[in-house]
Structure 1
Amino acid sequence: MKIIEQDPWLRPYETVIESRLRYARKREASLTGGLSGGLSDFANGHLYYGLHADGDAWVIREYAPNATALYLIGDFSRHQRQPQYRFSVVDRSAGDWELRVPRRILPHGTRYRLLLEWPGGEGERIPAWCRRVVQDADSYLFYAQVWQPDEPYRMQHERPLPDDAPLLIYECHIGMSSEQAKIATYEEFRTDVLPRIARSGYNAIQLMAVQEHPYYASYGYHVSSFFAPSSRFGTPEDLKRLIDDAHGLGLRVIMDLVHAHAVRNEVEGLGCYDGTRSLFFHDGDRGIHPAWDSYCFDYGKDSVLHFLLSNCKYWLTEYGFDGFRFDGVTSMLYYNRGLGETFDSYERYFDGGQDVNAIAYLILANKLIHTLCPAAITIAEEVSGMPGIALPTADGGYGFDYRLAMNIPDYWIRLVADHRDEDWQPADIWHQLTNRRASEPAISYAESHDQALVGDKTLIFRMIDSAMYDHMNKESTEQSVDRGIALIKMIRLVTAATMNGGYLNFMGNEFGHPEWIDFPREGNGWSFHYARRLWSLADSPFLRYAGLQSFDRDMIGLIRSVPSFHRLPLREYWLHGNDQVLCFGRDSLFFVFNFHPVRSHADYAIPLPPGRYEVLMSSDARRYEGYGRVDERVAHHTCRAASAVGGASPQELLKLYLPARTALVLRRIV
């Protein structure tokens, strides 16, 4: 297997790796036996279960093997059980139930629920496979809703085809995308924010909190209805129109998919769905995530894989998503959810503490997704460093296209919070940004939504703090503001320039959005103050946020202008701890960073390939709210060093003026 060839230290675990792949193939064969379409046919649960039109009738099917009776209740029955709306058993051994109702009884917009009876109890439930859930404005209760508009939305644009540019992701939350203190809508995001993203140069958006979740402040990670797009942002038609418009702008749309766990709610969730917790989840402690207060799926059940794989297919085919960022993969992989582990040796990945059923599910999900849509994107949010996550299964991997480089934002937080600027070491920065498996593409990022949740701060706010409230105007001379602006540009550039797969930015961070993110909750008086984006800061000609936005736009534009930027070999040319200077190159591009807080270097000599060099970007440019100390019009030429060491040929040196806290991007012209 290539995974062993690429990393011989994995040789002792070759048998374990092979056994995991064999088990995934065995599960696939068991699930798809007799199905001509293989996994794709198996993942059609959403076409069978749930509410579907059948001529003049609705047919609704449910999987509830522990139930003794099912009733459909709703507006049409005054939400009471009535015998004519009792389900019939389709297959007692399979646990399937079915009910047919004239379509006139359930017109578009009708609210409904299930009433299940089981040995020793009963309860109302929102159907597990329902596609539309709404919350009553007065009672705050959730209901399934019939959704059959007279003119369903039809996509106008084809999916954007992947090109040779790296994946440049703009991570978004629909609800907090408005400047107003409210929950924004799909439609507002489509008209107001999508054009901004397109102008910024990013080629993909990642939508958070799409799956229905009862508690807004959960950020969408406590999912209740896996097949229903959140109605607090608008209608299914609105979401489809948003995705369609994004495609028209050349943006691929990635969904933040939560398959690691589910909210514990019972009426509007999957908890104790048919009177048992074990229908979807593990029983006992193994079924509860101790850090997230949520239920954990039992991937050893065929019915659970049917549900989750169908969910993947549904979002791809029904809404036109271009792929998924799988949330919480580490929690899925390990019996102990990866909590408290250091993962300081390879044995931690193969010691028997891994859930082979979860591994099989991830392998099969990736196979299904790429079979349905060969150009699809799958990203693993995985913090342990499990070998092979972003390798093809043919090479011994799990089939993801990318893994999130989750070590990088943690590193920047530690560096900014715990170390003086004078102690920043270029060698350490270089190591942290490039310490990865070369064969596994990663998504690099300085900060995502995670780094700014309540109790934390954005990177720039960590550096500037309260001075951002009064000193971000262009006339300000506050030193902490100058420092924060200079460093955030350097941090973002060095992170993006060292990528080996893609780069991610969270909505608003490109212009240095201040403060933190905190959704309305009891603890903050249900305030929307920190759950919005202040776009006017970046649009104001009097504030310095515009310069940060311009820097980000030019940085992304530069990266996109270079074919296969992320595949160009990275080469370190210069690391000097005392001077705090780092220089590395990718083909004809060279990136030079002077992290020193006060020392500017004149005629600083760096050994580089001979030739003429032009300045493409200077982070110190006035248009980026710098001091303008670099004349970007001046071309630079290498010169022969006066002498060489140890009889070697004299080096070619490029001499540069490197102002303190400044980064340069150069292009070599032979």
Structure 2
Amino acid sequence: MTDQRSDALPMFSGFDIDLFKSGTHYHIYNKLGSHILEQDGVKGTHFAVWAPNAQHVSVVGNFNGWNRNSHPLECRADHSGIWEGFLPDIGRGEYYKYFIRSNNGYEVEKGDPYAFHWETPPHTASVVWDLDFQWTDTQWLENRQNTPPLSKPISIYEMHIGSWRRVHEEEGRFLTYRELAATLPEYCNYMGFTHVEFMPIMEHPFYGSWGYQLTGYFAPSSRFGTPQDFMFLIDALHNAGIGVILDWVPSHFPTDEHGLGYFDGTHLYEHADPKKGFHPDWKSFIFNYGRNEVKAFLISNAIYWLDKFHIDALRVDAVASMLYLDYSRNEGEWIPNQYGGRENLEALDFLREFNNAVHTNFPDVMTIAEESTAWPGVTSPTTHGGLGFDMKWMMGWMHDTLSYFQRDPVYRSHHQGQLAFSIHYAFSEKFTLPLSHDEVVYGKNSMINKMTGDHWQQFANLRLLYGYMFGHPGAKLLFMGAEFAQRHEWRHDFSLDWDENLNPAHNGIQTLLKDLNAFYQSQPALYEKNFSPEGFEWIDHQDSLNSVMSWIRKGKNGEDDLIFIGNFTPVVRSNYRIGVSKPGYYQEIFNTDNLKYGGSDLLHPDEQESYPIPKHGRIHSIPLVLPPLAIVVLKYVRGFDWL
């Protein structure tokens, strides 16, 4: 793999051009786009755009009355397809587009694919801007370099910036990046989340796309402020000890005229054949991963966010749609690969190259795949034929778990395998357990409204679900609002219903999540072997008659092991025996039925003594009273004095 950290000045060397044409210029954002500089003592802006099939390219903007002839660019003579030019007296804040006349006569005004800043939608011009910022997160970056990311707890708070909180006194306007910086780090710290994951913040014309239909790949959305304002937010999160994950969308892009589609009068960024180049679900274009300059655009975009914005991880959206040529297509609507198969070989090469580039340039940064199929080796190294991601969303766990929890407990005994099954493949990849935004929209119900039963049972079930989630191997992810059991589905045009948190039942859920995050980070057994089968052992997953499951989470030190017991019915189980291998005393260290969480307060405050009554293939057992719809966690305290 070839790469270089190019000089910040946007002058192209022959090496730059060779790298770009080979698809391996991972810092091409330092060259293409608009860059403010001084040339021969004159201040201005250098513009460069890739448009190989153009007959004429000029820069139009406020500064020339959008005149298509007054500021032409020159086409480089090296067959790169790059048009460039230095325009004096053009500086920060100028609106502009590229006027392109194609060889086929097509004329269009396009936004700059590499622009650092855009007009606030619905306006569509690019804005000349710089990335100057005084970072103060040196300590965070040094710590990140010295700690393997998967060796510590990962609890992710997924959020949509435009609807987390709004200013009600000002007609419900968005919070700005800087306003978020004053509240979000404190909230994440209070709740104990280790990371915040932003749904795509790159510029997007349609707010209702939630950021998944991008036009400004290199620009934080101006709805919430400038690039420096977004840097300020990241800096504040880092200084509060919170990692930042960005959703990244290399799978498709919208058809808006000012965007990437049909850029120079040809299908430059997308495939020409709609069977390969148009996504039927999202009505958007699909990138041509086989074109080197497109690969350079996408991979350099990933590197850009890590380089210029200090991002700690990229969550790659819709990976499954990239892997399969027949994704969401019927027979006859897709084109097989060269071997007649359904695998998108060009996308596979791209994803491997993306992960190699990220991990070569930023070995301490994570990549996370939203991949919903059983594609093998998503988190295996590319050297072993894998895709090279660090983690993958465990979509099977999410579907099975939510399906189970929506069942009346009367019928759960017939479906216990839904919960137990995930352990069969829990270590085939390195997984994140996602309860994401996708599960609380479009009539799927909010997390609390998915739960079955009366009011008390709904909240007890949700406490049980979260306790089960934190006891299950894998990193954790929860979408905003679910941490206090918001009743409404997520609505992107409104703030979360924070006033619900004044209700004791809702506040109990928030307190539970806060304590679960603290518990997760305080117990090595929950993260030291989070991605290894050595970190998990069943005690009993077959007691479907009582709908009870029990298991052990293990750390590097056996003294850290934890016993989880889950009662998935509203029936109290008295004198329920759990087999243990170590004779002695055990302490209950967590119970989701605690009164402070809204539970019935059926706790075990005293140490629990084991007895030489074999159970579950173990020599001793402990009699417990299992609270209704709850998770109980025990930890070995000490042996018997006489042993």
TM-score normalized by the length of structure 2 = 0.87
> Is 1:443 aligned to residue 442 of structure 2?
no
Q: Which amino acid aligns with 1:169?
A: I
Mapped partners of 2:35, 2:3: distance in 1? 29
Mapped partners of 2:19, 2:371: distance in 1? 34
Q: Which amino acid aligns with 1:372?
A: N
> Is 1:550 aligned to residue 506 of structure 2?
no
Mapped partners of 1:317, 1:27: distance in 2? 14
| Corresponding pairs, count | 594
Mapped partners of 1:172, 1:26: distance in 2? 36
Asked if the contact 2:576–2:625 (Cα under 8 Å) also holds between the matched residues in 1, the reply is yes
Q: What displacement does 1:39 show?
A: 10
DSSP-derived class of the 1:42 partner: coil
Distance 1:201 1:188, change over 3 A: same
Task: Report the equivalent of 1:116.
Answer: 100
Distance 1:217 1:256, change over 3 A: same
Which of 551, 570, 576 aligns to 1:604? It is 576
Asked if the contact 2:23–2:294 (Cα under 8 Å) also holds between the matched residues in 1, the reply is no
Q: What displacement does 1:654 show?
A: 0.8
Taking the TM superposition and a 5 Å limit, the aligned residue runs for 1:563-642 are: 563=524, 565-566=526-527, 567=529, 569-575=535-541, 576-587=543-554, 588-597=561-570, 599-609=571-581, 610-630=583-603, 632-641=604-613
Mapped partners of 2:56, 2:514: distance in 1? 59
Mapped partners of 1:667, 1:480: distance in 2? 32
Taking the TM superposition and a 5 Å limit, the aligned residue runs for 1:126-525 are: 126-135=111-120, 140-148=122-130, 152-157=133-138, 158-159=140-141, 160-161=143-144, 162=147, 164-179=151-166, 180=168, 181-267=172-258, 269-337=259-327, 352-417=341-406, 419-425=407-413, 427-436=416-425, 438-445=427-434, 447-463=435-451, 480-500=454-474, 502-519=475-492
Mapped partners of 2:383, 2:83: distance in 1? 40
Mapped partners of 2:442, 2:607: distance in 1? 47
> Is 1:53 aligned to residue 20 of structure 2?
no
DSSP-derived class of the 1:639 partner: coil
Mapped partners of 2:399, 2:46: distance in 1? 50
Q: Show CA shifts across 1:31-50 (max 9, x none).
A: 99998999997212101100
DSSP-derived class of the 1:370 partner: helix
> Is 1:663 aligned to residue 628 of structure 2?
no
Asked if the contact 1:27–1:360 (Cα under 8 Å) also holds between the matched residues in 2, the reply is no
Task: Report the equivalent of 1:6.
Answer: none
Query: More relative contact order in 1 or in 2 (CA 8 Å, sep 6+)?
Result: 1
Larger deviation: 391-400 or 370-379? 391-400
DSSP-derived class of the 1:457 partner: coil
Mapped partners of 1:304, 1:562: distance in 2? 45
DSSP-derived class of the 1:332 partner: helix
Q: Which amino acid aligns with 2:540?
A: W
Task: Report the equivalent of 1:523.
Answer: none
Taking the TM superposition and a 5 Å limit, the aligned residue runs for 1:8-157 are: 42-55=25-38, 56-83=43-70, 85-91=71-77, 93-102=79-88, 104=89, 106-118=90-102, 119-135=104-120, 140-148=122-130, 152-157=133-138
Q: Please, what is the CA RMSD of the aligned residues?
A: 2.8
Mapped partners of 1:156, 1:221: distance in 2? 29
Q: Show CA shifts across 1:490-549 (max 9, x none).
A: 11121221123x111111211112211233xxxxxxxx3xx32223333x2x53211111
DSSP-derived class of the 2:68 partner: coil
Q: What displacement does 1:413 show?
A: 3.2
Q: Which amino acid aligns with 1:154?
A: W
Q: What displacement does 1:252 show?
A: 1.3
Mapped partners of 1:166, 1:338: distance in 2? 36
Q: Which amino acid aligns with 1:481?
A: H
Q: Which amino acid aligns with 1:223?
A: L
Larger deviation: 193-202 or 210-219? 193-202
Task: Report the equivalent of 1:536.
Answer: 499
DSSP-derived class of the 2:174 partner: coil
Mapped partners of 2:269, 2:432: distance in 1? 35
Q: Show CA shifts across 1:142-186 (max 9, x none).
A: 11112248x644344432524632321111111111144332321
Asked if the contact 1:165–1:565 (Cα under 8 Å) also holds between the matched residues in 2, the reply is no
DSSP-derived class of the 1:193 partner: helix
Q: Which amino acid aligns with 1:90?
A: R
Q: Show CA shifts across 1:341-380 (max 9, x none).
A: 9xxxxxx9x9721111111111111111111111101100
DSSP-derived class of the 1:369 partner: helix
DSSP-derived class of the 1:147 partner: coil
Q: Show CA shifts across 1:113-149 (max 9, x none).
A: 111111222011101111111136xxx3211112248
Asked if the contact 2:404–2:419 (Cα under 8 Å) also holds between the matched residues in 1, the reply is no
Mapped partners of 1:357, 1:618: distance in 2? 50
Distance 1:636 1:644, change over 3 A: closer
Q: What displacement does 1:66 show?
A: 1.2
Distance 1:38 1:492, change over 3 A: farther
Q: Which amino acid aligns with 2:58?
A: Y
DSSP-derived class of the 1:233 partner: coil
Task: Report the equivalent of 1:473.
Answer: none
Asked if the contact 2:35–2:128 (Cα under 8 Å) also holds between the matched residues in 1, the reply is no
DSSP-derived class of the 2:305 partner: helix
Distance 1:45 1:405, change over 3 A: same
Asked if the contact 1:177–1:193 (Cα under 8 Å) also holds between the matched residues in 2, the reply is no
Task: Report the equivalent of 1:8.
Answer: none
Asked if the contact 1:166–1:564 (Cα under 8 Å) also holds between the matched residues in 2, the reply is no
Asked if the contact 1:114–1:127 (Cα under 8 Å) also holds between the matched residues in 2, the reply is yes
Q: Which amino acid aligns with 1:142?
A: T
Q: Which amino acid aligns with 2:538?
A: E
Asked if the contact 1:111–1:144 (Cα under 8 Å) also holds between the matched residues in 2, the reply is yes
Mapped partners of 2:17, 2:54: distance in 1? 29
Distance 1:300 1:312, change over 3 A: same
Q: Show CA shifts across 1:316-348 (max 9, x none).
A: 10111012000010011111126689xxxxxx9
Mapped partners of 1:117, 1:38: distance in 2? 22
Q: What displacement does 1:209 show?
A: 2.0
Q: Which amino acid aligns with 2:80?
A: A
Structure 2: gaps spanning 5 or more residues: 5-13, 332-336, 555-560, 639-643
Q: What displacement does 1:669 show?
A: 1.9
Q: Show CA shifts across 1:427-458 (max 9, x none).
A: 4144243232525210013x210001232212
Q: What displacement does 1:665 show?
A: 1.1
Q: Which amino acid aligns with 1:299?
A: Y
